[in-house]
Amino acid sequence: MDIQICVGSSCHLKGSAVIIEKMQAAVEKYNLVGKVNLSGSFCMGVCNRMGVTVSVDGEVHTGISPENFSEFFSDHVLAKLNG
């Protein structure tokens, strides 16, 4: 699975760095190292005021924040991997 986290200006200011840390921790916690390929991206063209943009196998999700990260991870990463 390819996960891209946006590190462009808008997402950077909304905390890409924190989301990257959480993503790495989650990947380790669920033993997904090797199964998930993490990379950066400069802008996916859907900047907004809510949070960071993350794409999972090309599917773009916006507004990811430290608060909703766990929900996002289980709904769109774990569910997809297990489903």
Partner 1 sequence: MRKFDTKVQHLKYKVLREVARLAWKDQLLENVMDIPKMIVPGKTPTMRCCVYKERAILGERVKIAMGGDTSNPNIIQVIDIACDECPAAGYEVTDSCRGCLAHRCEDVCKRGAISFDHNHVAHIDKTKCVECGQCAKVCPYSAIVNRKRPCQVACKVKAISIDENNAAAIDNEKCIQCGACVYQCPFGAISDKSYILNVIDMIKKSEGNKNYKVYAIVAPAFASQFMHAKVGQAITGMKQLGFHTVIEAALGGDMVAMNESRELVEKVAEKGAMTSSCCPAFVRYIQTAFPELVDFVSHNPSPMVALAKYIKSTDQNSKVVFVGPCTAKKAECQLEGAKDYVDAVLTFEELQALFDSKEIELSELAEDVLDNASYFGRIFARTGGLSDAVAQALKEQNIDFETKPVVCNGIEECRMALLKLSKNPKILGGNFIEGMACLGGCINGAGCLTHGEKNKADVDKYGREAMEKTISDAVSILQNF
Strand 52-56: give its sheet, edge to edge: 37-41, 2-6, 52-56, 59-64
Q: Minimum distance from CB of 52 to partner 1 (Å)?
A: 11
Residue 57, CB-side half-sphere exposure with 13 Å CA sphere: 8
Residues 20-59 that bind partner 1 (CB under 8 A): 20-21, 24, 38-43, 45
Binding status of residue 8 toward partner 1 by CB under 8 A: yes
Q: Footprint of partner 1 on this chain (CB under 8 A)?
A: 4, 7-10, 12-13, 16-17, 20-21, 24, 38-43, 45
